[in-house]
Structure 1
Amino acid sequence: MKQKSMSINAFLNGIRSILNLLFPLITFPYVSRVLQVQGIGIYNFSQSINSYFLLIAELGVTSYAVREGAKYRDNPEEMSKFGSEVFTINVIATLASYALLLLSLLVFSNLKSYITCILIFSLQMFFVTMGTEWLYTIYEQYTFITIRSIVFNAISIILLFLFVRNSNDYLSYAAITVFATAGSNLINYFTAKKICRIHLTKHINWKRHMGPILIIFASNVANLIYVNSDVTLLGLMKNNYTVGIYSVSAKVYTMVKSLISSVLIVTVPRLSMLFGKRKLDSYELVLSKVTNTLVLITLPAMVGLFMMSRNVVLILSGARYMQSQSSLQILSCAYLFSILAWIITYCVLLPAKKEKYMLISMSISAILNIVLNLILIPFWSENAAALSTVIAEFSLLVVNFYYAGDIVGRIFISKTVAKNLMDAIIGSLGIWEVCFIIRNIFPHLIISTLLSVALSVIIYGVILLVLDNDIAHSYIDRYLNKN
């Protein structure tokens, strides 16, 4: 099969991520005002509970299928056999997850007031399993995925403004959120046969699949715990109001992180294939390019969000959520740790079949995050949750690097990364100055925000060019050559 351009894939996935971000950016200001803090708190708490069962249903199949399936994409017969086995395992896990969810709703009385919302969110398990998104990732079908996302995000926005009209409509908001996923995955299900024939099968090589799948699943559980434990514990230890306040900063943090990581996601199938075929020189070249590009993107995003946190909260949610500003500033400090840790996890440990080290590092981070939350939330509420996330992300990076140093050490500790890191720091200082000056000269919220973003991009780009940054010059040269 002809390999698709990784730059084009990154561009398409970036467009998809931007569109997925535009949905909450367009809708969240409206929803947060209509549903108010209590409604947002119920919505997010229900979603956080459902996410644990969604993880059980997924079982680690996606990451495993992308890594292993990349080796078979040029062999339709082997791909069909492999895909059918993995799909069947996914279906069994989904049925088990539904059973556990229903049991939990019966046993835990404090979930009774959230039952309807949780059950609506639970529909995602069925549709995600049937959607076999991992198949489209293996074959790098990002054009299809992007177009599909545009259609269903647009429909969801229309439905939102039609059916979410007052503070009691959080169930409608949950249903529309599920629809965006369900619609996309239904399209996946009906078009997957054009890529590869996948069906339920009795013939499963359990010994081959279950070992790595369960290790990846355990790693994902640990990852979800340290990602979601802050919202869950805030809901249990505080109240819906505190969850609603923290949800604003967590939502913004996640959106920006998803956009940055869109550059990373498209490289996973390619890196898995290169490592699997022992093309290590090509593997290191791609990994180095990804790392250096993300360093240049992440630092300015981190500084820009820190400086613009007040404006972001006011624009997205309004003055009643102003308390979210401090937790958003704290969370913004986690980006560099998070992205570098993610590179090691999904671009190094996963392709290298070092799942057990993923499990160890994520478990350490999860335990640390929970302990810090339990200790600090009674005193600092949502700011404690944000701080624990930053520390957990840093610990994940440190432990990951310890286990992957033999592979990634030559890249992370290199003159190229050091040069790009220094360029990014100097450029980010320019962003800091721009945002500070604009904030003091232009008090108008929208004008201040637009000028800060536009001038920050220009100043950062100019600084990189003045510093003779290779990556910045390569993008400029590519643009000029196309024109």
Structure 2
Amino acid sequence: MQVAKNYLYTAAYQLLNIIAPLITMPYLARVLGRNGVGVASWTNSFATYFLLIASLGIVTYGSREIAYVKDNKQARQQKFWEIQIIHTIAGMFSLVLYFLFLKFGVQWNSNIENNQIYLLLQTWIIISGILDISWYFMGLEDFKKTVLRNALVKIAMTVLIFILVKTPHDIGNYILLLGLSQVFGNLSMWFYLFKKMSWPVWSQLNLKEHVNPIFMMFLPTIATQVYLQLNKTMLPFFTNSTDSAGFYDNADRIIKVSLALVTSVGTVMLPRMSAQFAKGQFGKMKQNIIQSMDFVSALSVPMAFGMAAVAPTAMVWFLGQEFATVGHVIVLLSPIIVFIGWSTVIGTQYLVPTKRLNEFTLSVTIGAVANVLLNFWLIYVAGVNGAAIATTLSEFLVIAFQLYITRNDMNSWRHFSGMWRYLIAGIAMYWLVTVVSQCVNISVQSTILELVLGVFVYVIILIVLRAPILKKVPFLDKIAK
């Protein structure tokens, strides 16, 4: 029941994550234009690298460690302060590095010099990372607080965008708004904490025990983020325009909107899987993996096919004709909804809780290295489309390697026993939506029609094929039997 409740909280927030960009993205595209969106995306990609240093992968590591001792108040408090002190030190170090980058980066590239003020405003993103203690509440499986906080921040930010971002000259307002909203949102979580937390016994603090595992958790985090951000960073250098970074960033954001509902499963299940591992309940862990993989497949396959089908036409009215390229980039990125969904289950729900961090790190490192190498070739050959292809191939390598290294622990074929049903339904949905899109004019109404028809066809085919996932859906469980 607790897992279901946590998923509903997280899914509700992810639903807000879907609605908010649908409201703000077309507005920002038209107000800031290609150049403004590109500058905001490109400067943010630089700040994100330093945010990684400040965060150290502590969100995943910290929630896991708190989950291990969540029933022991004294041990839980001690672990929190040990981890947070390391977090703060890393954050201060990353801020120093970022200011050094701003000081000397102007000598390296003219784009950095021309956008110095915007890069400086991105500093607040790094500060927000230092203040983030959501990992503590996640470890306690108390998702309600983090979800409500994030929801309020998202709503406030959406409203303020319309108030403060009015012209192409308001790029700075937009960047500052994104950073400060995160700062105040993360700061608010500390008020919940002080009600339950006492100061640590300073003499008993043991920071050393966390240094090595945090570093090991940091490696896969930075490896993952490098190839998520590197595309946006590299594109202006190869294409001589920040517009390409804006195209890729918009496509990436829309893909992540769909991906958010899928990856919520891993976020919610991590503390539960960590607790089961600590208790030696390996049978339950494996059963949860099978169920999660089936659930993720059932969601991610139609999302991937649906995105690929509607994006080329939907982006024309959604973002404007000058952003039409975004639709074609989404088509190339759509398979990662499935690949990342699967790797979230195998990596976050199994490898991380079972402390197989070396293998988890190696899997994402393979993806990062492949992405860097492919970028140099594919961006040069195909520009922003090449960056999308490089990302998709890299994500495939990550999940392929994870399935390979866990083949002796679990029967990998069981993960995909019902996959053929989802593929048949997804392909049929894609074919129908594509045909319809060619027969109607490009408009909001036509996209809604395509989505409704796609979902209807997908569900009907799953009912015909008696997909096991339907047994968990109210009103459809009897049909699936």
TM-score, scaled relative to structure 1 = 0.93
2:416 is paired with a residue whose SS is helix
Asked if structure 1 preserves the Cα contact closer than 8 Å seen for 2:310 and 2:434, the reply is no
Post-superposition offset of 1:199: 6.0
Asked if structure 1 preserves the Cα contact closer than 8 Å seen for 2:63 and 2:137, the reply is no
Asked if structure 1 preserves the Cα contact closer than 8 Å seen for 2:131 and 2:183, the reply is no
The corresponding residue for 1:395 is 397
The question of 1:90 aligning with 2:87 is answered yes
1:430-464 Cα deviation digits (max 9, x unpaired): 31233124213432411211111122222212221
Asked if structure 2 preserves the Cα contact closer than 8 Å seen for 1:287 and 1:347, the reply is yes
Post-superposition offset of 1:181: 1.5
Among candidates 283, 286, 294, match of residue 284 of structure 1:
286
1:286-329 Cα deviation digits (max 9, x unpaired): 22111110011111100000001123312431111112222211
1:163-200 Cα deviation digits (max 9, x unpaired): 10111111111112123312321210111123444669
* 1: CA distance, partners of 2:372 / 2:442: 40
Asked if structure 1 preserves the Cα contact closer than 8 Å seen for 2:65 and 2:139, the reply is no
Among candidates 57, 60, 80, match of residue 60 of structure 1:
57
* 2: CA distance, partners of 1:273 / 1:397: 24
Among candidates 66, 72, 76, match of residue 73 of structure 2:
76
Greater shift in the superposed pair: 265-274 or 108-117? 108-117
Residues 478, 441 of structure 1: alpha-carbon distance in 2 compared, 3 angstrom cutoff:
closer
* 2: CA distance, partners of 1:31 / 1:449: 21
Matches within 5 A, 1:8-407: 8-109=5-106, 110=109, 111-197=112-198, 201=202, 203-238=204-239, 239-407=241-409
Asked if structure 1 preserves the Cα contact closer than 8 Å seen for 2:43 and 2:118, the reply is yes
Residues 335, 134 of structure 1: alpha-carbon distance in 2 compared, 3 angstrom cutoff:
same
The share of aligned pairs that are identical, in percent, is 23
1:268-290 Cα deviation digits (max 9, x unpaired): 11111111211111111222111
Asked if structure 1 preserves the Cα contact closer than 8 Å seen for 2:56 and 2:218, the reply is yes
Greater shift in the superposed pair: 254-263 or 267-276? 254-263
The corresponding residue for 1:413 is 413
Asked if structure 1 preserves the Cα contact closer than 8 Å seen for 2:216 and 2:361, the reply is yes
* 1: CA distance, partners of 2:417 / 2:406: 22
The question of 1:436 aligning with 2:434 is answered yes
Greater shift in the superposed pair: 151-160 or 164-173? 151-160
1:185-219 Cα deviation digits (max 9, x unpaired): 12101111234446695754233111111011111
The question of 1:451 aligning with 2:453 is answered no
Greater shift in the superposed pair: 392-401 or 82-91? 392-401
Q: Which runs of 5+ in 2 are unaligned?
A: none
Greater shift in the superposed pair: 114-123 or 262-271? 114-123
Asked if structure 1 preserves the Cα contact closer than 8 Å seen for 2:312 and 2:324, the reply is yes
2:364 is paired with a residue whose SS is helix
The corresponding residue for 2:422 is 424
Q: Which runs of 5+ in 1 are unaligned?
A: none
Asked if structure 2 preserves the Cα contact closer than 8 Å seen for 1:245 and 1:323, the reply is yes
* 2: CA distance, partners of 1:403 / 1:266: 24
Asked if structure 2 preserves the Cα contact closer than 8 Å seen for 1:70 and 1:138, the reply is yes
Counterpart residue type for residue 153 of structure 1? K
Asked if structure 2 preserves the Cα contact closer than 8 Å seen for 1:85 and 1:200, the reply is no
1:8-48 Cα deviation digits (max 9, x unpaired): 21111011111123222210110011111111111001110
Counterpart residue type for residue 372 of structure 2? I
Post-superposition offset of 1:237: 2.0
Counterpart residue type for residue 268 of structure 1? L
Corresponding pairs, count:
473
Residues 197, 405 of structure 1: alpha-carbon distance in 2 compared, 3 angstrom cutoff:
farther
Asked if structure 1 preserves the Cα contact closer than 8 Å seen for 2:360 and 2:402, the reply is yes
Residues 196, 284 of structure 1: alpha-carbon distance in 2 compared, 3 angstrom cutoff:
farther
* 1: CA distance, partners of 2:385 / 2:119: 26
Asked if structure 1 preserves the Cα contact closer than 8 Å seen for 2:54 and 2:126, the reply is yes
Counterpart residue type for residue 53 of structure 1? F
Counterpart residue type for residue 129 of structure 1? I
Among candidates 452, 458, 461, match of residue 460 of structure 1:
458
TM-score, scaled relative to structure 2 = 0.94
Greater shift in the superposed pair: 323-332 or 178-187? 178-187
Greater shift in the superposed pair: 301-310 or 112-121? 112-121
* 2: CA distance, partners of 1:472 / 1:21: 24
* 2: CA distance, partners of 1:250 / 1:113: 25
Post-superposition offset of 1:90: 0.3
Post-superposition offset of 1:334: 2.3
Counterpart residue type for residue 217 of structure 1? F
Residues 200, 75 of structure 1: alpha-carbon distance in 2 compared, 3 angstrom cutoff:
closer
Counterpart residue type for residue 95 of structure 2? Y
Greater shift in the superposed pair: 452-461 or 7-16? 452-461
Over 4 Å off, 4+ runs = 198-203, 477-480
The corresponding residue for 1:471 is 469
1:48-92 Cα deviation digits (max 9, x unpaired): 000000000011222111112101111111100011100100000
1:351 is paired with a residue whose SS is coil
